[in-house]
Amino acid sequence: MLTYLSIIITAIFVNNIVFAQFLGICPFIGVSKKLSSAYGMGAAVTFVMVLATCVTWLLQHEVLNPLGLGFMQTIVFILVIAALVQMLEIILKKIAPALYQALGVFLPLITTNCAVLGVAILVVQKNYNLGESLTYAVATAVGFTMALAMFAGIREQLSLVDIPKPMRGVPIALICAGLLAMAFMGFSGIKIG
Amino acid sequence: MNSKLRIIYNGIVTDNPTFVLLLGMCPTLGTTSSAINGMSMGLATMGVLICSNMAISAIKNFVPAKVRIPAYIVVIATFVTMLQMLMQAYLPSLYETLGIFIPLIVVNCILLGRAEAFASKHSVLDSGLDGIGIGLGFTIALTLLGAIRELIGTGRIFDTIIFPETFGSLVFVLAPGAFIALGFMIAIFNYFKNR
């Protein structure tokens, strides 16, 4: 139990995927202008990340490892994620149009979201079992959504402020992200179990 | 300026992937803790980009438009896997340092972006040149960012001591410094561009 708790706390706060591991920066900068779209993106990423981690973990341990094809990891994983996102889009459109309306625009963007592929590769590198992997995926996605929501809140305020012209847009956003990352550094050193 | 040189120049200045197109942010922030790391990451990406651009340009007439994106991804993933194996064999310590960011070259938006925007419309030679230009632009940006972070953080550039380490501010080598340094660099670039 303590292992799981430790994985959750570490993935959300100590090793936050955006502020400490630099994964998923593109959606972090691109979709964080409004709070509502930040939640949508976060939900879509959570959905895909958990599903993708589950499928890729099984593929790695049941297919690639027994056959000695570990070097095919990158190609297999990216294809699985791309196919999964496509399938998800089709299925959601058919059975849950409301959810599709909410997540639809974000889904195609997720294929090239490095956080999804990153987590799939990281859980294999860290030698997690299936339960730990899924916990890690959920916690990482929660950490990502939290970072995105916090940052969107800040950017909504930023748009009202008089900022020197060359700093407007991405530069000031990056600097704010740096300050947030500094705040998150306060969590480092927390150890459980 | 002749057209071949113009392609390379565009890649480095007018279409600079980091400062103008704002693509490939993850490796830009994640691997630039020192000048040498930034430069290695830039060169690795450039190698894959040149190969994938030329290969995609060569197969562009055989691939049906509907499945072109998956086809591009497979081509890119193949070259990334080759790079991974080469680095594991010949540069194991660098492979260790760059870690997860080497397989993640697959999802670097620069590669897919150039495949779609340039390689699928131009000849093999031009696509290769575009790969060199964009790759150089990316490498220069990463080296510069790495050098600035290394200098402010530890007082060195490429391990050459510029000022004593005690005057450095370590935060620039850590995660927050990456965001702040890149933010200021893009702001400076914007300032000179709009003048």
Tally of structural domains, chain A: 1
Choose the closest CB to B81 out of A74, A125, A167.
Answer: A74
Nearest Cα residue to A18 out of A148, A129, A123: A148
pTM, to two decimals: 0.89
Instruction: Tell me, yes or no, whether A149 lies in a domain.
Output: yes
Pull the structure tokens for residue A149: 């929501």
Residue A150, chain B, CB below 8 Å: the answer is no
Are B104 and A167 an interchain contact pair (Cβ–Cβ within 8 Å)? no
How far lies A89's CA from each of A48, A101, A110, A137, in Å?
A: 11, 10, 11, 20
Residues comprising chain B, all counted = 195
Domain residue limits at B162: 3-194
pLDDT at B56: 94
Q: A114 and A52 in contact (C-beta within 8 Å)? A: no
The three-state DSSP-derived secondary structure of chain B is: CCHHHHHHHHHHCCCCCCCCCCCCHHHHHHCCCCHHHHHHHHHHHHHHHHHHHHHHHHHCCCCCHHHHHHHHHHHHHHHHHHHHHHHHHHCHHHHHHHHHHCHHHHHCHHHHHHHHHHHCCCCHHHHHHHHHHHHHHHHHHHHHHHHHHHHHHHCEECCEECCCHHHCCHHHCCHHHHHHHHHHHHHHHHHHHHC
In this prediction, residue B135 carries a pLDDT of 94
Is residue A67 a part of any domain in this protein?
Answer: yes
B10 in contact with A at a CB cutoff of 8 Å? no
**Residue A13 falls within a domain, yes or no?**
no
User: Could you give the percent of chain A with pLDDT greater than 90?
Assistant: 31
pLDDT digits (tens, 9 = 90+) for A25-73: 888 887 778 888 888 888 888 888 999 999 999 999 998 888 888 888 8
B195 touches chain A (CB under 8 A): no
Size of interface A-B (CB pairs under 8 A): 119
Domains in chain B: how many in total?
1
Question: In this structure, what DSSP letter does residue A34 have?
Answer: S
Specify if A111 maps to a domain.
Answer: yes
Digitized pLDDT (tens) for each residue of chain B, 195 residues in all? 578 888 888 888 888 888 888 888 888 898 888 899 999 999 999 999 999 999 999 998 888 888 888 889 899 999 999 999 999 999 999 998 888 889 999 888 888 888 888 898 899 999 999 999 999 999 999 999 999 999 998 888 888 888 888 888 888 888 899 999 999 999 998 888 877
Taking residues A2-9, report their average pLDDT: 88
Domain membership of residue A75 as a residue range: 30-184
B74–A170 C-beta distance less than 8 A: no
Residue A17 lies inside a defined structural domain of this protein: no
Q: Which residues of A touch B84 (CB under 8 A)?
A: 71, 74
- Asked if B100 lies within 8 A of A122 by C-beta distance, the reply is yes
- A77 vs A70, A116, A134, B4, B125, CA distance in Å? 11, 10, 16, 37, 31
At A192 the three-state DSSP class reads: coil
**Which among A11, A14, A43, A46 is positioned nearest to A132, based on CA atoms?**
A11
Task: Reply yes or no on whether the pLDDT at A104 is more than 70.
Answer: no
Binary contact (B177, A178; C-beta < 8 A)? yes
What is the band of A193 on the pLDDT scale with cuts at 50, 70, 90? low
Tell me whether B170 touches chain A (CB under 8 Å). Answer: no
Would residue A98 count as lying in a domain? yes
Q: Fill in the amino acid letter for B79.
A: F
The answer as to whether A7 is a domain residue is no
